[in-house]
Amino acid sequence: MRVLVLGGDGYLGWPTALHLSQCGHQVAVADNFARRQYDFELGVESLVPIETLQTRVETWRDLTGESMDVYVGDLTDADFTYRMLREFRPEAVVHFAEQRAAPYSMIDRKHAVYTQVNNVVGTLNLLYAIGEIDPDIHLVKLGTMGEYGTPEIDIEEGWLEVEHKGRTDRVLYPKRPGSFYHLSKVHDSHNMEFTCRIWGLRATDLNQGVVYGQATPETMLDDRLATRFDYDAVFGTVLNRFVIQAVLGHPLTVYGTGGQRRGIIDIRDTVRCVQLACENPADRGEFRVFNQMTEAKSVQEMAETVERCFPGDVRIDHLDNPRVEREEHYYNVVHTRLLDLGLSPHLLSDTLITSLFDVAKRYAGRVKDEALRPKVNWREQSGPVQET
């Protein structure tokens, strides 16, 4: 297949592009490099050094003989978006090209507006481009489990059968997002469902849990193919942050009680899920949702896993929660559709944690201690951003 990976320079976009190329697909990547700019703004950088996109693509070509087209531009620029689709003519578009951090979206008005404009307008431009250029293109879009919130009923895969006053209907599962970032994803989902229903597009919404890990078989072929490892309190995922704190001898910082349960997934399973979605496309007019997670754990359980696996002393500290969220709640998620397509998940294990410790130890000298502490408070309309 011809697959266009949007956000192909990012934490998940880059290893996904490599994996799809390794599977025999013709891959192109697009990016505006905004994620690298966020590092300059916040005064942090990936724990693992990452090469330029040009170097990465050239390294992959030299190692495998597989080429990748590269497009540099922004989805909020409709002209660029249309030109890219007309030139590459993809059969599938994998869409990672959004601002992905809830804390970043909650810094202040400016960051909230930027997140929603970037994410919602970019995706809307893409939907229009697909609809006008080739409605057969299958859109595989990264959503988030955070769209659902923490309801007191089981979380179904995108849709819910309801009965009301003796009548039944199938509706999109009710959403209760916890940040302006998560809200942008909800808007994307509704726009996608609408265009599938009205224009006959085909789309798969991958509501993904928290990703952990840094290496895939493809990125391990050469250090120049490495993807990001974010550990800071804005972009760093919680398990990655705990691993860094353990290696540095810092307490693991659990927000509130740590009873918040989250769906989680290994980065190797993320790239496999995208492959399965691309190779088994939605039908014309179908908006389908896959809950892309492999297991659920509380933040406290993740901290205790790191504590158990680390070969040294580890202390767990509970901080006042900067977020507005339920810390003890029901959480049961249906996630069977990707398993039905053939996913064999990697579950969180001592072996994986140990490998993350090795990465953290190798690059421990690059850590900025101050970046580990939360600086964004959900209750404030204007929060501080670290000066550079």
Strand-by-strand arrangement of the 295-298 sheet: 210-212, 261-266, 295-298
pLDDT over threshold 90, residue 261: yes
Catalytic residues: 144, 181, 185
The reported pLDDT for the residue numbered 387 is: 43
Does residue 86 surpass a pLDDT of 70? yes
Given a contact cutoff of 8 angstroms between Cβ atoms, the answer to whether 4 and 75 are in contact is no
Whether 60 has a pLDDT exceeding 90, the answer reads yes
The string of pLDDT tens digits covering residues 90-147 is 999 999 999 999 999 999 999 999 999 999 999 999 999 999 999 999 999 999 999 9
Are 374 and 238 a contacting pair, CB within 8 Å? no
**CB-CB contact of 184 with 146 (8 Å):** no
The token pair that represents 265 in the structure block: 């997934």
Q: Could you give the dihedral angle defined by the CA atoms of residues 77, 276, 270 and 101, in that order, rounded to the nearest 10 degrees? A: 30
Q: Contact, 298 vs 261, CB < 8 A? A: yes
Q: Over 70: is that where the pLDDT of 388 sits?
A: no
User: Could you give the angle at which helices 13-22 and 267-279 cross, rounded to 10 degrees?
Assistant: 60
The residues facing 138 across adjacent strands are: 92, 202
Phi, psi of 231 (to 5 degrees): -125, -10
* Amino acid making up residue 198: I
Partners of 271 in the beta sheet?
Answer: none
From CA 155, how far away is CA 334, in angstroms rounded? 6
Q: 165-221: per-residue pLDDT in tens?
A: 999 999 999 999 999 999 999 999 999 999 999 999 999 999 999 999 999 999 999
Angstrom distance (rounded) from CA 206 to CA 99: 16
Q: Band the pLDDT of 366: cuts 50, 70, 90.
A: very high
Which structural domains are found in the chain, ordered by start?
A: 2-372 (3.40.50.720)
User: Model pTM greater than 0.95?
Assistant: yes
Q: Binning pLDDT at 50, 70 and 90, where does residue 350 land?
A: confident
pLDDT band (50, 70, 90) for residue 372: very high
pLDDT of residue 299: 97
Sequence-ordered strand ranges (E) for 273-360: 287-292, 295-298, 316-319
State the pLDDT confidence band at 384, using cuts at 50, 70 and 90.
low
CA distance 91 to 87: 12
Here the tokens at position 39 are 């590092």
Q: In this predicted structure, what is the pLDDT of residue 187?
A: 98
- In this structure, of 6-10, 272-276, 354-358, 375-379, the range with the lowest mean pLDDT score is 354-358
pLDDT for 351: 65
d(C-alpha 385, C-alpha 354), whole Å: 33
Average pLDDT, the chain: 96
Q: What is the pLDDT of residues 280-313, one digit of tens each?
A: 999 999 999 999 999 999 999 999 999 999 999 9
User: CB under 8 Å to 9, separation ≥6 — which residues?
Assistant: 29, 31, 33, 35, 36, 53, 56
- At 352, the pLDDT band (50, 70, 90 cuts) reads confident
Q: What is the pLDDT of residue 381?
A: 85
SS3 213: coil
Per-residue confidence (pLDDT) for residue 349, from 0 to 100: 81
